[in-house]
Structure 1
Amino acid sequence: MRKTFTRTILSISFLALMLTASNGYAQQNNTNDEGAQHLVKWNVAALLLKNYSFQYEQAIGRKTSLALGLRFMPKSSMPFSSVLKNAIDDDQTWNSIKDFKTGNFSITPEFRYYFGESVFQGFYVAPFLRYARYNADLPFHYEYQQNATTTVKDKMDFNGGVDTFTGGVMIGAQWSLGKSISLDLWIAGPNYGFASGNISGKKTLNSMEQDELRKALDEDFKDLPLVKTKYTVDGNGAKIDFDGPWAGLRSGLSIGYRF
């Protein structure tokens, strides 16, 4: 595992050096189209997480630009679910995860300052804001002892969403691959903010079923990182409210077209 990770880092570093050298050669030979003030980009790395991510960038100065990113993910199963299956040894947890479906949408405006000789070239720093909406369908499986000899397996189907508002700073680098093609590496963009939303499920519950569902929700949701949760259970179902801080990390690799 450690050897594979080391080889991956070395490969990425070598690629970055090659691209930096190519970028310097391109600048010396004036292969960049000086009249190009716009870039449209597709974050191809986001496909690994079933996301479709696009960005438009416009130059506003010799070393500065404004960009607007859009990302969406149609509601589907979790990415890398087959990997998770091998890592989870609890059937009850896996039953909830395998049928879990999620989707999202985000919009991200940002300002970029390039450290190279001109805009769209070299390393950059990019303060940004982000609004994102995450939707989910969560089948919550749980079980309890009805009496000394009977174990009841039950399920509550939750659905809903969470809205998040965050801000952060991204470090990246962009290179010219030709007259009109560019490569944009989002190295890291940590962001922090707040979130609010809820998921709910409708189901007729007697008093015993309500008590057991409360116990199961308390066990699984009370220690979630960052976000605070509050749940209510009654005879018609249950609702889980999410509120509090939110954190994320932007990264990616985009292919762009300049015009």
Structure 2
Amino acid sequence: MKRVLIYIFAIFLSHLPLILSAQILNTSFSDTSQLQEENGNLINENAKNFIKINLAALIFKSYSLEYERILSKRVSLALTLKTMPENSLPFKNLLIKNFGEDEFDRNAIENFRLNSFSQTFQIRYYLSKKGYGRGFYVAPFYVHSNFSVNKLPSQYISSSSERPDEIVNFDNSGKFSSNTGGILVGAQWMIGKHLSFDWTIAGPHYGLGSGSLIGIAERDLTIDEQNNINEMWDDSSISGYIKNVSVNEKGEVLDLDGPWGGLKFMLSLGIRF
């Protein structure tokens, strides 16, 4: 059953490669900003609204739209909505190459499905002299997220006296939600009078998450197997996150509750109006 954790963790590991691209973008867009200053580009400070799409999210099969409202030279408010329709894992082929050594692992990564929806609220403080939605910023933020997972397989090796060492396959699905908060650090440039580029360099966040994972067994479980599964979760490395375990002849239900966190990273192209 510990295979469940490996694939959930793989979802978050797959988000790491985009961070490497930040060094290239830092150089190219800082040069563009300098050229705009030298050419005397005029920015309409009365245009206080931004609508932006997060280009980085598209790589992860997600869609992210942000609205930002300038309140003053230094302060703005922003709301981000992000959705991932039910789909396979991002970078699935890469995961299969690194984790799909046997047929079970390959099929698990191939068939796994995930969808999510999140809302992020932030207050931005612009630090540069330009202000009005330009330059470096820091932003306290809050995120509420919902996740669903489907077709997540796992295996249990029976230790009952009736069917010793028999492999029992489980089909797992579940829903989770989280509430987290953190600090964003980033920078925003104007490209001409109406286009903007917003780079959220890093946004670590931490909080609490909860949910349930339901595992349906391919056959009815014996009483001994049900007791063994209960004991297995009591002794597992994630026992501190398990609020309750219910096991019957049809399968199991895990109620999970505990710390939750992540790292936000965005490369957004927008329109100012």
Tell me the TM-score normalized by structure 2.
0.81
Distance in 2 (alpha carbons) for counterparts of 1:229 and 1:74:
27
Q: Post-superposition shift, 1:103?
A: 0.7
Where does residue 111 of structure 1 map in the other structure? 123
Matching residue's letter, 2:50 = L
Cα distance in 1 for partners of 2:211, 2:163 equals 39
Whether the 8 Å CA contact 1:142–1:216 is kept in 2: the answer is no
Give unpaired runs (5+ residues) of structure 1. Answer: none
- Aligned partner of 1:50 in structure 2 is 61
Equivalent position amino acid for 2:222 in 1: N
Partner of 2:47: 36
Query: Amino acid of the residue matched to residue 229 of structure 1?
Result: I
Deviations 1:143-181 (A, max 9, x none): 536789985333222222111000000000000011110
Write out per-residue CA displacement over residues 166-200 of structure 1, whole angstroms, 9 at most, x where no aligned residue.
Answer: 00000000000111100000100000100111111
- Three-state SS of the structure 2 residue aligned to 1:62 is coil
Instruction: State the AA in 2 paired with 1:104.
Output: S
State the distance in 2 between where 1:46 and 1:239 align. Answer: 32
Task: Report the AA paired with residue 221 of structure 2.
Answer: L
**SS of corresponding position for 1:83:** helix
Which residues of 2 match residues 217-256 of structure 1 at below 5 A? Answer: 222-224=236-238, 228-230=241-243, 231-256=245-270
**C-alpha distance in 2, partners of 1:20/1:243?**
45
Distance 2:119 2:97 in 1: 34
Alignment of 1:72-151 (within 5 A): 72-88=83-99, 89-116=101-128, 117-144=130-157
User: 3-state DSSP class of the match of 2:24?
Assistant: helix
Change (3 A) 1:13 1:249: same
Secondary structure of the 1:175 match is: strand
Cα separation, 2, equivalents of 1:46 and 1:8: 14
Q: How does 1:12-27 map to 2 (within 5 A)?
A: 12-25=25-38
2: distance between equivalents of 1:176 and 1:67? 17
Distance 1:163 1:145, change over 3 A: closer
Cα 1:130–1:241, aligned 2, differ >3 Å: closer, same or farther?
same
Q: Give the 3 Å change call, closer, same or farther, for CA 149–236 of structure 1 in structure 2.
A: closer
Displacement after TM superposition at 1:14 (Å) = 2.0
Q: Residues 252 and 224 of structure 1: is their aligned pair in 2 closer, same or farther, counting only changes over 3 Å?
A: farther
Deviation at 1:99, TM superposition (A): 1.7
- Whether the 8 Å CA contact 1:92–1:142 is kept in 2: the answer is no
Equivalent residues of 2:204, 2:263 under 8 A apart: yes
Go from structure 1 to structure 2 and tell me whether the alpha carbon gap of 1:44 and 1:34 turns closer, same or farther (over 3 Å shift): same
**Aligned counterparts of 1:149 and 1:191: Cα–Cα separation in 2:** 46
Which ranges of structure 2 fall in alignment gaps of 5 or more residues? 1-17
Q: Is the 8 A contact 2:64 2:81 kept in 1?
A: yes
Q: Does 1:206 find its partner at 2:222? A: yes
Task: Identify the range of structure 1 (148-157 vs 32-41) with the bigger mean alpha-carbon deviation.
Answer: 148-157
RMSD, matched Cα: 2.8
